């Protein structure tokens, strides 16, 4: 690996359940509205909205840590700290595949029924969440 | 005076009830400890979220429109549609816990003008308000037992949805929280978030205010839409857990006094039981002794009569 990519920044990932990651990191990739975004050391100050998807953290030893997240936000401050606050974050290993599959089918079924806009949005969000969880579980669970 | 068998039965039934209240006391105390720990875990999240919102709001570029930035002050008091989120329990047996919350809401309803709608958590409160024909959101069905994050998320999704669609202008939250060793009914404003609207107003009015310019992706409004519901979820979860702690605490106290009452009743019942028993024994002895005496006397009388007859012969 090249020289320039060894600097670390402090990263905190937390949800209501508690802190998921609180340590130095080399890189973090977060799901945004229009694709993924990677953040390295020395990024300019910003606040970012995060959507349902997969979060990847590169630890200082080069290993990747994966998390499945739902909506939230990310903040980079000038002192090279990065805080990620999300509604939920879980390890793909903890995802119960069968339950995720059931949630997916449930949301699909609901989407096909006639419903109000409020319900439609709800089942759409549910479907998106179920899909990401399923995808993450099948890709990272072994 | 009741007879001895009745007293015995009464003592038995009280001691059975006491076993139940004692068990409820123990269950409540373990549940309370568990919930306390849960609450502690959420604190870092809560403060970090608040910090981030403040940072975002103070540096918002001009002209950003978002429902969470509106203070709703322009709506006249009589026309405001208010939503009250009320935290009650599913069961009674917790002293005046439910009563206090319901009374606080009813007092508030008398003061506030305008329309209102109730979002009630817990069976006791829902039953109370529905039976009085008050406007309760029919689809808002949540229990208060074992607070989970999942439930807090669902509750906050419902609330934020109603707020964003502008069916409700202001949300208030009424719950019970532990303060030291006592429970306290709290009434707080949830939406619009006062600290956001205040900050927004201050920074917008102050022309000389220096704003840090930094990237906000995809847009400041979208970030607000993402982060504020998270804050609300944290708040609701906190209220759920606090209410749960309080109800367990109230139940512990109620069960404790029930235990004490049962003990007192048992003591006085035992005393009267013993008194009765003693009286019974005394009576029995008296009866036996007097019976024996009577027998002896009649025997003596017979003997005397026989002797007299013998003398005559």
Q: How far apart are CA B175 and CA B46, in angstroms?
A: 18
The residue in chain B having the minimum alpha-carbon distance to the alpha carbon of residue A118 is B161
pLDDT at A1: 47
Q: What is the pLDDT of residues B39-73, one digit of tens each?
A: 777 778 888 888 888 888 887 777 777 888 877 77
- Choose, out of A36, A39, A87, A115, the residue to mutate when testing the contact with B (most B CBs < 10 Å): A87
Closest by Cα among A66, A126, A71, A117 to A99: A126
Distance of CA A112 to CAs A105, A115, A116, A124, Å? 11, 9, 12, 11
Residue B95 CA: distances (Å) to CA of B22, B147, B239, B251: 15, 21, 20, 7
- Chain A residue with Cα closest to B227: A72
Q: Would you say B102 and B88 are in contact if contact means Cβ atoms under 8 Å apart? A: yes
Spatial separation of the C-alpha atoms in residues B149 and B147, rounded to whole Å? 7
pLDDT recorded at residue A142? 62
Residue ranges, CATH 2.60.15.10, chain A:
3-90
Interface of B with A in 43-62 (CB under 8 A): 44-45, 48-49, 52, 55-56
Which of B280, B283, B251, B296 lies closest to B24 in space, CA to CA?
A: B251
Mean pLDDT of the region A49-77: 87
The CATH T-level fold of domain A92-140 is: 1.20.5
Mind listing the pLDDT tens digit for each residue in B203-255?
777 766 676 777 777 888 888 888 888 888 888 888 888 888 888 888 888 88
* Residue A87: exposure state from Cβ atoms within 10 A (0-12, 13-18, ≥19): buried
* Range list for CATH 1.20.5 in chain A: 92-140
Interface test with A, best of B220, B223, B228 (most A CBs within 10 A): B223
Point out which residues pair with A83 in neighbouring strands.
Answer: A12, A75
Q: What ipTM was estimated for this complex? A: 0.76
**Integer Cα distance of B92 and B96 in angstroms:** 9
- The CATH T-level fold of domain A3-90 is ATP Synthase; domain 1 (2.60.15)
Is the distance from CB of A97 to CB of A135 less than 8 angstroms? no
B67-115 pLDDT, tens digit per residue, is 888 777 777 777 888 888 888 888 878 878 888 888 888 888 888 877 8
Q: Which of A12, A17, A47 sits opposite B223 (nearest CB)?
A: A47
Q: Which two tokens stand for residue B300?
A: 């003596």
**Residue for token pair 């308000």:** B129
Residue range A2-19, pLDDT digits in tens: 555 578 888 988 887 778
Worst-scoring range by mean pLDDT, A72-76, B210-214, B284-288?
B210-214
């Amino acid at each position: 690996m090249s020289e320039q990519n060894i600097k670390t920044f402090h990263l905190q990932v937390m949800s209501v359940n508690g802190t998921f990651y609180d340590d130095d990191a080399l890189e973090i990739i977060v799901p945004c509205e229009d694709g993924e975004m990677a953040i390295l050391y020395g990024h300019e100050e910003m606040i970012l909205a995060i959507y349902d998807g997969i979060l990847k953290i590169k630890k200082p030893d080069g290993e990747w840590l994966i998390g499945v997240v739902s909506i939230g936000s990310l903040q980079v401050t000038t002192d090279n700290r990065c805080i990620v606050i999300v509604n939920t974050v879980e390890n793909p290993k903890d995802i119960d595949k069968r339950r995720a599959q059931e949630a997916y089918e449930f949301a699909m079924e609901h989407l096909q029924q006639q419903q109000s806009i409020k319900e439609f949005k709800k089942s759409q969000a549910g479907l998106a969440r179920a899909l990401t969880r399923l995808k993450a579980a099948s890709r990272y669970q072994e | 005076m009741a007879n001895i068998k009745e007293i015995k039965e009464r003592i038995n039934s009280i001691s059975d009830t006491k076993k139940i209240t004692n068990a409820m006391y123990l269950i409540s105390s373990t549940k309370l400890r568990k919930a306390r720990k849960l609450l502690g875990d959420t604190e870092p999240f809560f403060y970090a979220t608040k910090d981030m919102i403040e940072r975002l709001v103070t540096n918002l570029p001009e002209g950003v429109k978002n429902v969470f930035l509106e203070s709703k002050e322009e709506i006249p008091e009589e026309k405001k549609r208010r939503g009250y989120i009320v935290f009650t329990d599913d069961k009674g047996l917790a002293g005046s816990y439910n009563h206090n919350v319901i009374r606080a809401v009813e007092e508030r309803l008398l003061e506030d003008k305008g329309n209102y709608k109730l979002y009630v958590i817990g069976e006791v409160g829902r039953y109370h308000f529905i039976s009085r024909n008050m406007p309760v959101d029919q689809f808002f069905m949540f229990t208060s037992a074992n607070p989970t994050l999942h439930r807090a998320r669902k509750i906050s999704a419902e609330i934020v949805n109603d707020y964003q669609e502008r069916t409700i202008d202001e949300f208030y939250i009424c719950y019970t929280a532990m303060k030291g060793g006592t429970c306290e009914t709290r009434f707080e404003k949830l939406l619009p978030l006062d600290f956001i609207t205040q900050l927004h107003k201050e920074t917008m009015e102050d022309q000389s205010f220096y704003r840090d310019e930094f990237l906000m992706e995809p847009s400041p409004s979208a970030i607000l839409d993402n982060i504020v519901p998270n804050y609300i979820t944290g708040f609701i979860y906190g209220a759920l857990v606090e209410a749960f702690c309080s109800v367990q605490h109230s139940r512990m106290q109620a069960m404790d006094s029930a235990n004490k009452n049962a003990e007192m009743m048992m003591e006085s019942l035992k005393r009267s039981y013993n008194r009765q028993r003693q009286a019974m024994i005394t009576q029995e002895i008296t009866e036996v002794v007097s019976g024996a005496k009577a027998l002896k006397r009649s025997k003596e009388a017979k003997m005397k009569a026989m002797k007299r007859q013998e003398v005559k012969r």
